[in-house]
C-alpha cells in the first residue's frame, strides 16, 4: 500500500512538471492555449512603442518560443533541401528564422493600435486550426488562422493564413524565387536571408 506523504507528492509533482510538453496530447484546447500565449506576446510587442528593429528582435523571440521553425524552414526550401548538406541546413534554418522575423515583424507592425483575439479551434487532419480575428483601427477585421501541431515534440505553430493567404505556400514560392536569383547557390541565399 502506498502512503502519500508530502515528500511523495512533491516528487510526483516535480516529475510531472519535468515531462516534455509533447506528453500532453494536442487538442483544440491546448492549441488554443498556445495561440492565446502567442497572441498575448504579439499584442505586447505591437503596443510596446519600440522601434522597428526592436519589434523585429522581439518577433524573432516569439518565433523561437512558439513556432516549429525547422519544419517551416525545410518546407519553404522545398526539393532544394534534399541536396543541401547537413552543415548548409544547420546554417539555413537560423538564417530563414531571421528572414521570417524581419518580414513578418514589419507586417505585424501594421497592427499597432489593434488587437488579435482567439475565436475558436478545430481539428484539421493531424493538426489544429485556431481561428483569430485581427481588429485594426479604421479597417475591417481580418481573419487569421494558425495551424498548430505537436510533430516536433512540442506544441508549436507551423503555418498561418491571413485572409486566405497561406504563409507556407507564399514563402515556399518566395524562397524558391530567391534561390533562383542566386542561381541555386544555397550559401548565397543564406547570406541574403541574414541581410533581410
pTM of the model: 0.82
When pLDDT is averaged across residues 123-132 and rounded to a whole number, the result is 95
Average pLDDT of the chain is 86
Whether residue 171 has pLDDT greater than 80? yes
Please name each of the domains of the chain with its CATH number.
25-194 (3.10.450.710)
Out of 2-6, 87-91, 135-139, least confident range: 2-6
Query: pLDDT (tens digit, 9 = 90+) per residue, 91-120?
Result: 999 999 999 999 988 887 777 778 889 999
Are β-strands 127-135 and 115-124 bridged in parallel, bridged antiparallel, or unpaired?
antiparallel
Of 21-25, 82-86, 103-107, 118-122, the poorest mean pLDDT is in 21-25
Q: What is the DSSP string of 46-82?
A: HTS---HHHHHHHHHHHHHHHB-HHHHHHHHHGGGGG
pLDDT at 107: 83
16 has a pLDDT exceeding 90: no
Amino acid at each position: 500500500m502506498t502512503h502519500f506523504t508530502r515528500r511523495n507528492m512533491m516528487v510526483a509533482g516535480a516529475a510531472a512538471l519535468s515531462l516534455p510538453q509533447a506528453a500532453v496530447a494536442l487538442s483544440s484546447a491546448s492549441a488554443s492555449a498556445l495561440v492565446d500565449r502567442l497572441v498575448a506576446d504579439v499584442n505586447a510587442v505591437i503596443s510596446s512603442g519600440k522601434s522597428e528593429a526592436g519589434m523585429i528582435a522581439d518577433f524573432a523571440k516569439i518565433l523561437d518560443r512558439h513556432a516549429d521553425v525547422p519544419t517551416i524552414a525545410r518546407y519553404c526550401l522545398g526539393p532544394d533541401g534534399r541536396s543541401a548538406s547537413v552543415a548548409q541546413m544547420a546554417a539555413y534554418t537560423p538564417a530563414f528564422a531571421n528572414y521570417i522575423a524581419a518580414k513578418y515583424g514589419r507586417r505585424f507592425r501594421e497592427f499597432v493600435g489593434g488587437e488579435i483575439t482567439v475565436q475558436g479551434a478545430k481539428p484539421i487532419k493531424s493538426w489544429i486550426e485556431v481561428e483569430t480575428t485581427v481588429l485594426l483601427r479604421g479597417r475591417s477585421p481580418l481573419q487569421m488562422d494558425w495551424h498548430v501541431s505537436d510533430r516536433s515534440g512540442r506544441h508549436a505553430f507551423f503555418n498561418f493564413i491571413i485572409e486566405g493567404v497561406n504563409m507556407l505556400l507564399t514563402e515556399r514560392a518566395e524562397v524558391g524565387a530567391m534561390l533562383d536569383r542566386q542561381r541555386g547557390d544555397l550559401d548565397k541565399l543564406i547570406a541574403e536571408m541574414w541581410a533581410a
